[in-house]
Amino acid sequence: MKIAELSKLTQVTSKTIRYYEEIGLLPEPARAANGYRVYQQEDVERLSFIRRCRDLQIPLEEIKKVLGCDHGNACEGHNNHVDDLIAAQLERVKKAKIELEALEQTLTGLLDGCDDKNSSQCNILHNLRAH
Amino acid sequence: MKIAELSKLTQVTSKTIRYYEEIGLLPEPARAANGYRVYQQEDVERLSFIRRCRDLQIPLEEIKKVLGCDHGNACEGHNNHVDDLIAAQLERVKKAKIELEALEQTLTGLLDGCDDKNSSQCNILHNLRAH
DNA sequence: TATAAAGCTTCCAGTAACAGGAAGGTCAAC
DNA sequence: GTTGACCTTCCTGTTACTGGAAGCTTTATA
């Protein structure tokens, strides 16, 4: 199949597919006589997996490790554990959530008249607001 | 004062200070005979404000608007409302939190044996895990 | 006084994960 | 035969910086 079909099947744009190839996340596909990329069924599976990971906001580097494409490894095997991948991502997400929680509180506090006048954050923002 | 002192007072690196100048967030400072940048007290206040906004993860473009440095405006006035700035950021943060919440649930579900076998996400990940 | 270290300058490259667009070749349909 | 869709490569831009090179000046030390 050509790149447009792979794109449709995986919901990943042609642009992104070429990008993944460039960074070594997808193997270089065969080429037709006219130079067009030719993909196989296994490419659909591999790219679908990548797509799902990206939906989970797992960084490309992490996905690369699990797919075994790093360190000159020619992207053949699946040696690492998907569970670890997911667990690591869950940790990142939890951490990010905690940070956003704190941010939300600070912002809400600033909007609610900034009761905590001891906060330097508050003071500076208000000084400049009064300007 | 020289750039290192401004840096210490505001907790913003010299590198970042020059960057802010480059993108027009800070006005071009006076120069000493040797070419060194020379800053005033008002630069401390302006940069502190920027620093506080960045702590709140407000994008530089938003800060720029509030400080009135856009559209060739020479960075003199503070015309817009800090409240709006904060409210807009609060909205962004809330939205991001909701997304992370959903992500966390999905990831947790995947770790907990992926009960929802109907999810294509689950299936694909598990197929590849079994591989 | 010599020299080394610290601090300043400018400019260039890299980060994450693509998207947009230019310039040009190819293929199918009308 | 020509329009339009699809393919190719290459280059730029995005956000908010950080790191580093090359080359000044200034300050501290031996």
Q: What is the CATH number of the domain that holds A8?
A: 1.10.1660.10
Would an 8 Å CB–CB cutoff place A100 in contact with chain B? Answer: yes
**Model confidence over B39-59: pLDDT tens digits?**
999 999 999 999 999 998 899
Mean pLDDT of A3-19: 96
**A128:B49 CB<8 A:** yes
The answer to the question of residue B100 being in a domain is no
Buried (b) or exposed (e) across B103-120, using 16+ Cβ within 10 A? bbebbebbeeebeeeebe
User: Would A108 be classed as within a structural domain?
Assistant: no
User: Does residue A69 lie in a domain region?
Assistant: yes
Q: Is residue B18 one of the residues assigned to a domain?
A: yes
Asked whether strand D has any atom less than 7 Å from the CB of B55, the reply is no
- SS3 state of residue B88: helix
Which tens digits make up the pLDDT trace of A71-130?
444 444 444 578 888 888 888 999 888 988 888 888 888 777 665 555 555 555 665 554
Could you read off the pLDDT of B85-101 as tens digits, one per residue?
A: 888 888 899 988 998 88
> How confident is the model at residue B78, as a pLDDT?
42
pLDDT at A38 over 90: yes
Would you state the pLDDT for residue A119?
A: 57
Contacts of B98 in chain A (CB under 8 A): none
**Phi, psi at residue B94, to the nearest 5°?**
-60, -45
Looking at CA atoms only, how far is residue A16 from chain B in angstroms?
Answer: 20
More confident position, B67 or A38: A38
In sequence order, what E strands does B26-113 have?
30-31, 37-38
Mean pLDDT to the nearest integer, B105-128: 66
Domain membership flag for residue A70: yes
For an interface test with A, which of B12, B78, B83, B103 has the most A Cβ atoms less than 10 Å from its Cβ? Answer: B103
Count of structural domains, chain A: 1
Q: Output the CA–CA distances (angstroms, integers) from residue B98 to A49, A122, B7, B20, B59, in the order listed.
A: 24, 26, 36, 32, 20
Q: Judge whether residue B8 has pLDDT over 60.
A: yes
CB-strand contact B54/D, under 7 Å = yes
A67 pLDDT higher than 70 = yes
Mean pLDDT of the residues in chain A: 82
With respect to residue A121, please indicate whether it lies within any of the assigned structural domains.
no
Say if A106 falls within a structural domain: no
Alpha-carbon span B55 to A122, nearest angstrom: 12
Asked if the structure places residue A43 within a domain, the reply is yes
Protein CA A43 to sugar C1' D4 (Å): 29
C-alpha to C-alpha distance for A54 and A9, rounded to whole angstroms? 16
Domain range for B8:
3-80
Cα–Cα separations (whole angstroms), residue B119 to A52, A54, B109:
11, 16, 11
